[in-house]
Amino acid sequence: MGLAMSGWSGTPSIAVLAMGDSPLIGAHELGHSYGLHHINLPAGVPKGPYDSADNGGMLLRPGFDVRAGTAITLPAADLMSYFPTRDPGPSTWLRLFTNL
Ligand SMILES: [Zn+2]
């Protein structure tokens, strides 16, 4: 079960709850629904079990925020972490395609 700020999902699950105005919370909870666990960033903050990720979960290249029309500022971490700036990293995309 995952709880991120204002969301909830089992891992995996058939239902997701995401409240508020943050699409990232909904995307994070959908990741749980598709069987993804947390990336342990900041260390010890998200609840385990944890999945591994490239570069320890820290993004090497900025993603793009379509709503804001700007690049994500670095440092940023994988969507499945609790790092303040998050975006789907290569590991999350690969884990999603593997689990679908
Ligand atoms: Zn979570």
Angle at CA 46, nearest 5°, toward 41 and 50?
Answer: 75
Cα of 3 from ligand 1 centre, angstroms: 5
pLDDT at 16: 85
Ion ligand 1 nearby residues (CB, 5 A): 2, 4
Q: How far is the CA of 89 from the centre of ligand 1 (A)?
A: 15
Structure tokens at 35: 């069987």
| Owner of token pair 């959908």 | 30
From CA 97, how far away is CA 91, in angstroms rounded? 10
Q: How many whole angstroms from 63 Cα to the centroid of ligand 1? A: 20
Distance in Å, CA 66 to ligand 1 centroid = 22
In this prediction the pTM is 0.84
Domain map of the chain by residue range? Answer: 7-99
pLDDT score recorded for residue 28: 93
Provide the pLDDT for residue 47: 93
1-10, 50-59, 71-80 — which is least confidently predicted? 1-10
Percent of the chain with pLDDT over 70: 95
